[in-house]
Amino acid sequence: MPRAASSILSLAGRAGGYARAAQYDGREMTARARQTFADSFLDGHACRVCPQTALPPDLLPVERARRAEALRKAHYARVALASARARSQKRAATSTKVTAQEVDDHARHRTAARES
């Protein structure tokens, strides 16, 4: 898609988003999705960062809720850990990169040192 068309679509989407936000409460619009996500921990949970976890079916509702909350906290702890690792790897990768400008500067410095 040409850049101009992409820019126009982006602006149109932004305008539509603001118009919708002006008419509705965002919490109401996302309530069903948030409830479905919360319920996924009651049934057990699995995602890209979490192992498959299933709660025993014979638990009392109070114990099921307690364990679901523990699963939710474990999920967010794993997400935070994955994020920290990714940031650390990105930092390490960018700190060891040598730019072309740095190579040129170094070569110029060595040439100047030899000539003097």
98 versus 29: the higher-pLDDT residue is 29
Question: What's the pLDDT tens digit per position in 64-97?
Answer: 999 999 999 999 999 999 999 999 998 888 766 6
Q: Which of 5, 7, 29 is nearest to 17 (CA)?
A: 29
Cα–Cα separations (whole angstroms), residue 10 to 7, 16, 18, 19? 5, 10, 12, 14
What average pLDDT is seen over the chain?
Answer: 86
**pLDDT-above-70 percentage for the chain:** 83
**Please, which pLDDT band fits residue 100 given cuts at 50, 70 and 90?**
low
Give the model's pLDDT for residue 48.
85
